[in-house]
Structure formats: C-alpha cells, structure tokens
A = this chain, B = another copy of it.
C-alpha cells in the first residue's frame, strides 16, 4: 500500500499493525487495509455497533506516536443516533464513523480469553484474533429494474461484490424460495450469512434475514471418550456465552475405545447406535448452552469438533473397525467440512461444521487441536505436549520439526484396573502424603479442603464418604510409597517394611498398603502397582521414543493436557516417571487444550489452515513399528527409571539412594548419561 509519509500514522492494538492513512479515512477502512479484523455487520452504516474501538490517549514513544482523542473526528449524527438507541460504552467509538485526523493508537477490544473457562491459571488465558469462517454482511439490494432484469438473488450477489468483495457465492437450493420475501420485507435491506473459509473454496450463502440481523454464534466441541465438552461462542464478539459438559453416552456400549470398536464389530447396528447416541448428546448440550446463553439455535452458524480418531469416526458415522487393527487406517485424516444439518445437529439450517484433521490412526483431531492451542510448531524450545487418557497422545517438537505418537497407557490412570480406583467424584481421594518415618498416610478427598489428619475431617468424611482413589491420587500414592521406601525401585511392595507399619499387610504372596481402613477399605495392592507401572512405562517409552527421534536427551517445557493432566502434581508425575525430567516451573497443566484449539478454529479460519498444514508436517511415529519401543518400555518399568536422568527432580525431591534393592531397571551408563547432558546443553545453546 503506497502511503504518504505526511499522512497520520495509526497503530492498532493488540495486533501492533500500523500504517499511514490520509486524513478522513475511517478507522474501519484503515483496519481493513492493514488486515486488522474489526467486525462489522452493517458495512459501515453505524447501525450494528460491532465495530467498536477505543482511542488511546498519550505518547507511545516506542512507535513515535502521540495519540489523542483530538486526532479523531468528533462523534457525528449516525454515531450519536446509535448511542441514543443502543448505548455506546464510555470511551468507545464506532470505527466505521470515526475518521482519522492525526496520529492514533487504537485498541480493538478482544473479549475472547478462551482458557478462562477451562483452566483457572491466568497464565494460560489466551487471546484469539477473530476472523471467523462465517460472517454477517448487511446489504441494501437495488430494487428490480425491467431494463436490467437480473434476478433478485443475482442483484444481491452483485451488491455483495461491491460492498463486501465477496464474489459469486454458492447459494443452496433451500434458500431460493425465500429470497424474494426476505428482500421485500425490510425494503431490500438484508443480512447475509456467508461462509468463506479462505481455503480456496467458493464462498457460500448460509442464511438470509430481512433487515439488520446482529447475532451469529458458533459452537466448539470436544468429543472425548468419557466426556463431551461444548462451548457456545459469539462469532461477532468472540465471547464464550455458555459452556456445558456431559458424559459420552457411548459409555454404555463400552467403557474404553477398544471395547466400543468391538461392539461395532459384534453388532450390526452398533455403529449406527453409537453415532446416534453421541449426536443426541451433542444436541442436548447445544440446547443447554442455548438456554443458558439465551441464544436461538437458529443463530448458530458454525461448529467445530475435535475428537480422538475413534470418536471422530463414530461421530461422522464411519465404522471404526479399521482403527482397531493394524495398519490402523483412518477413513479420512484431513479436515472434514460439512454442515450441522448433515450431522443431524441443531442449528441454523445452513450452519457449517468443521472437524480438525487427525494426525494418525491413534493421534486424533483432539491432539491436533491441542497442538494448535499450545503451538509447539511455533516454539524455539523443545516442547513436550502430552494428553493422557486410555491412549496417551504425545507431541514433541519445535518450529524446526514436530513428531507425534500415541502410546497405549491403558485405563489405569483413569482409575480402571486399580482395585480401589474410581473416577474423580466427591469422596474420591485426590491427594496423598506418606510420612517417611512412620509410614502413616494423610490424604484429601474431592469436596473437602481438609487433610485427613486435620480436626473436622471425620465430619467431612462422614458427609462425603471416602470412596476410592482417583487418577491423581493413584499417581501420588505410588510416588509417596516409593519415596518412603514402601515400594522398591522395581515396583515391589516391600514385605521387609511390614515390621515398621501395620499398614503393610500380606495379601497372598504379595503385600498391600492400607491407605484408609474405612468402608470400603482403601488399599494399594501389588497388582495395582503393576498396572501403574505398565501404564507409566508405556507413556514414558512413547515420550522417550520421540525424544530419540528428535535427538534430544531432555525437553525444555512440558504441557499436560486433559482433565488428568490438570489434576496431577507434576512433581509426582516426574517421581513416578510419567514424564521426563524438566524444570518444574516449565511443566504446566493446560486443561482441555483440545477444546481451546476447537475454539481457536471456530473464531479464526486462519487457525484452520494453520493446523491443516502443521498436521501434514508432523512426523507420525507408530510405536508398534519401532522394534526399539519394547526395550524402552522395559527400561521404563522401574521407579523412577534412570534416576540420574532427573537432575531437576533430584533438586526438588529426596529420591531414594541409587542402587536400592531391585531398582535395577537398566539405566544408562555414566558415560552415556554425561553425553546426554552434553547433548542437552548443545540444544539449549
């Protein structure tokens, strides 16, 4: 764009984009020319109020700008009218009506901090630049003219080119019978919902309303094996209006993924029943968020879904049988573009639907969405992103190269296969400490802030019950048992310790540790230990495999995604050897990163292109094809495997002395360990 150096300089925040514009240019035009997304439905008529911005006052030396409200035209007739009719917050201007008179710094309000609902940590709040695939365009169509007998729709298309630069959109047959009535109802003024995904495909008109229609919503939905989470967002403001979650009703067909695949294989109607069940559940959530957000389902115009590969296939109505056996072939791995109606979902009849691409047969659109949210592919440092479920999905990379794999951790971390395991629910033990001297435990249960040795806990326990161990407690109790010497390095509950504490109880030929002598009795058995070992070894071996592929001995930063990742204490995860050594300050739970990624793809079509391209670049590692994986798995069985590979952890936790009996999972030689450290330092240099 050619600009005169004498023209005023305008800086838009938070994007930081700036340029010079002739005096008199509207702020909306300036934003558009710079590619700064400022919403506008009415196309500059000062009626929709969507283009609100705030002019900053003061000197911005870094940019050489002194901004002042004198540098912008005073509010005029149209803006005053809007203020009278609809109200304009103090300090806000309509960008379409405010003309540039001098240098300016302009704030584009970004109301979208999508992680706020999901994780409480302020650090993971995230601003998503809005540029949705579906937009509203108000136009005023020329009345019919017998001398130029273009059809009503054709004149509508002509003005879409002229006012909005939208060329030759497709128009579904469904809308043709409505065009004439809608155009005439408000004297040829009409709001057009246009899907324009900027992926080279033809734009499409989704819906038409007479006059100015100022509401457009979308849903972002993460279909997990266990839980479905759904958010209702405004496509115009970017705000989350309501969120809701529900258990995945497919659980009644099979608790874990593989049992659902089996159900399909055994029952001719199984696939259809599960597809119907999940879609009904999504519809239930849509109804719920619409009620909560006071939004008409008809105003939902777009939807983004993420899911693991099997959920993804069942949601789309695809038989997942091929995913249950090598070579784990996905029916479709690329992003899927369809409509809510075709998926049987409530929304506007024209509402679109988008599913993020899957990375591989075991690494789904949910992992892709988490990748989009945490963006290892934009990092200089080596980021490990782990989403732990029945399968752990693991992504390791930086801007130079990203690798991904899934590892079959099994359901131990979700409480299954553990004798006293249970889902996270009130009464479940979630935190555990064991006194290394007395071997006496103390714990906390979900629903109470009190530790079990605090006064008043008994009343709480009476009220809530003490019902079992949830996933985070399983990690902690095993780690504490190890740190206190109850369990040896090779994962055996040591009968030798039975003399020290009555809580170590013979149980056939092995021993158990009694955590709570109530109703029920809550104990950790040797079998539980083995299940945890198998699970954590699978996860760690998968991570290790990717680290080998990347040629690194350590990672710089770790993101733990998913519900499990949000509740475990990174320190205990490290003690147990779920995750590799890392500065604990660099280990962060990011909550439902997959859901965040879905929101990003909903609000910004550029993120769709981004993840489609990133997924193509990600190198997929199939653990089943790596002969080395078995060795890594065996190596990772010990507690913790390779103690010396945990220098950061060793600074935080008093690990049991090396060479303790049975800690004999084969470790690296000292020389190899030194080399690893050197490698790591090189990576950091």
What residues of chain A have their CB less than 8 Å away from a CB belonging to chain B? 143-154, 157, 168, 170-174, 176-177, 179-181, 200-202, 316-319, 322, 326-334, 336-339, 342-343, 358-361, 620, 622, 624-625
Q: Is the CB of B177 within 8 A of A316?
A: yes
Query: Measured between alpha carbons, how far is A317 from B181 in the docked complex, in Å?
Result: 13
Q: Could you say which of B144, B317, B620 contacts A177, with CB atoms under 8 Å apart? A: B317
Query: Measured between alpha carbons, how far is A143 from B327 in the docked complex, in Å?
Result: 10
Q: Is the CB of B180 within 8 A of A319?
A: yes
**A339 surroundings in chain B (CB, below 8 A):** 173
A143 to chain B, nearest CB (A): 8
Query: Measured between alpha carbons, how far is A648 from B596 in the docked complex, in Å?
Result: 81
Q: Could you say which of B146, B168, B317, B358 contacts A622, with CB atoms under 8 Å apart? A: B146
4 new A-B pairs (CB below 8 Å) besides A146-B622, A148-B620, A176-B331? Answer: A151-B331, A153-B333, A172-B338, A176-B317
Q: Is the CB of A334 within 8 A of B153?
A: yes
Query: Measured between alpha carbons, how far is A316 from B176 in the docked complex, in Å?
Result: 8
Please judge, given known A-B contacts A202-B202, A343-B173, whether A152 and B318 are in contact too, CB under 8 Å: no
Of chain B, the residue at the smallest CB distance from A317 is B177
Interface of A is mostly: loop
Query: Measured between alpha carbons, how far is A179 from B320 in the docked complex, in Å?
Result: 12
Query: Measured between alpha carbons, how far is A148 from B343 in the docked complex, in Å?
Result: 29
- Copy count, this protein chain: 2
Q: What are 16 contact pairs spanning A and B, CB under 8 A?
A: A145-B327, A146-B622, A149-B622, A151-B332, A151-B334, A152-B322, A152-B331, A172-B338, A173-B342, A173-B343, A174-B342, A176-B332, A177-B318, A180-B319, A180-B329, A181-B319
Please judge, given known A-B contacts A170-B337, A337-B170, whether A152 and B330 are in contact too, CB under 8 Å: yes
**A200 surroundings in chain B (CB, below 8 A):** 168, 202
Query: Measured between alpha carbons, how far is A620 from B154 in the docked complex, in Å?
Result: 15
Q: Is the CB of B173 within 8 A of A333?
A: no
Q: Is the CB of B201 within 8 A of A622?
A: no
**A146 surroundings in chain B (CB, below 8 A):** 326-328, 361, 622, 624-625
| Residue with the highest number of chain B CB atoms closer than 10 Å, among A147, A329, A334, A338 | A329
Q: Could you say which of B151, B181, B201 contacts A330, with CB atoms under 8 Å apart? A: B151
**A330 surroundings in chain B (CB, below 8 A):** 149-152, 154
A346 to chain B, nearest CB (A): 17
| Residue with the highest number of chain B CB atoms closer than 10 Å, among A173, A316, A328, A333 | A173
Please judge, given known A-B contacts A146-B622, A151-B358, whether A331 and B202 are in contact too, CB under 8 Å: no
**A170 surroundings in chain B (CB, below 8 A):** 201, 337
A682 to chain B, nearest CB (A): 28
Q: Is the CB of B327 within 8 A of A173?
A: no
Q: Is the CB of B144 within 8 A of A327?
A: yes
Q: Is the CB of A147 within 8 A of B622?
A: yes
Of chain B, the residue at the smallest CB distance from A271 is B177
**A319 surroundings in chain B (CB, below 8 A):** 177, 180-181
Query: Measured between alpha carbons, how far is A326 from B143 in the docked complex, in Å?
Result: 12
| Residue with the highest number of chain B CB atoms closer than 10 Å, among A145, A153, A170, A361 | A153
Query: Measured between alpha carbons, how far is A327 from B150 in the docked complex, in Å?
Result: 11
A305 to chain B, nearest CB (A): 12
**A179 surroundings in chain B (CB, below 8 A):** 318, 331-332
Query: Measured between alpha carbons, how far is A471 from B176 in the docked complex, in Å?
Result: 36
Query: Measured between alpha carbons, how far is A337 from B202 in the docked complex, in Å?
Result: 13
